[in-house]
Amino acid sequence: MLIPSNTVFIQYYHGTSDYAWATPVMSTYEIISEMKEAGNNGEEAVSAVEVASSQVKAQSGWDNVKAAYRFNRKTGEISREVYELFLMFILGSAAGGLYGGMPASRFARNRYIQTSNAAIYSSKMEALGTSYNAGTRGFIRYGLRWGWRTGFLAIGFHGLSSFLAVYRDKTDLLNYTAASVCTGALYRVNLGVRGVVGGGVVGAMLGVPAGCCLLAMQKLYGQTMLEVNKKKRLEDLQEKKKDMLEREHAFKTLIGNLNASVSSTKSENGPVR
């Protein structure tokens, strides 16, 4: 069976790692027919078509974005893309805080020792504690200053590149280049037009090599992050469908047992006079 170029990836449980493909313009009957021609059981593929129907309907870029960036208010569950945004901001802020805070702490402590020669302390522990307090203040001050900047750059670069990949349904160097240019321009927007242009150029100079490295790493891994997240969403849909079927089966079993119990009670008591 030839696989069209505009296909939607569908995985179904068949006891093996078999896969099927379906174009958005194909009907359910055509999907099952092609799967039969490929040697698969059409009845076993019905569940896969039902589970992936929402993915088939999502044809536009905004539909893909809505499916990827979601938040369930009832359960508090967030999608993997939203989780990655928070994670990148935390990691970027932590890295920037350490990068800016450690040298600042050492410099502030040494500076305090040099400028406090005439100070009088009651003990050696008090002198050490005062110098370390100065280092802690320097760490907090410059750690926060560097942390929010690197956190902004991390969430901007990763968020924009992921958004473009989901919207375009494609992972390539263009996503990383556009994300780095936009992030650098936004970072220097307070400096006017020259700052925006300079930030965009610097962002491109840093983002293009970073994008090449990320693409190479994903190629070595065998899957892009977009494909991994798609597979995760599909597995979640299949798991939810399986859970719903199990609950429906348990409910029907309970109703059947109750009906049988009522019928047996009526037969034991005899007809009501």
Confidence check: pLDDT of 32 > 50 = no
CB-CB neighbours of 83 under 10 Å: 11
pLDDT at 226: 86
Q: Which residue has the higher pLDDT, 75 or 102?
A: 102
* φ/ψ bin of 13: left (φ > 0), alpha (ψ from -120 to 50), beta (otherwise): beta
**Which structure tokens are listed for 139?**
């760490």
Which of 160-174, 233-247, 254-268 comes out lowest in average pLDDT?
Answer: 254-268
Per mean pLDDT, which of 3-7, 62-66, 140-144 is the most reliable?
A: 140-144
For residue 69, what pLDDT is reported? Answer: 85
Q: What is the pLDDT of residue 199?
A: 93
CA-CA-CA-CA torsion for 27, 32, 34, 36, nearest 10 degrees? -170
How much is the pLDDT for 270? 60
| pLDDT value at residue 79 | 84
Under a CB-based contact definition with an 8 Å cutoff, are residues 55 and 8 in contact? yes
Residue 18: strand, helix, or coil:
coil
Q: What is the DSSP letter of 22?
A: E
How confident is the model over 122-150, as pLDDT tens digits?
Answer: 778 888 888 889 899 999 999 999 999 99
Is pTM beyond 0.75? Reply is no
pLDDT digits (tens, 9 = 90+) for 183-220: 999 999 999 999 999 999 999 999 999 999 999 998 89
Between the CA of residue 116 and those of 108, 119, 134, 186, what are the distances in Å? 12, 5, 11, 42
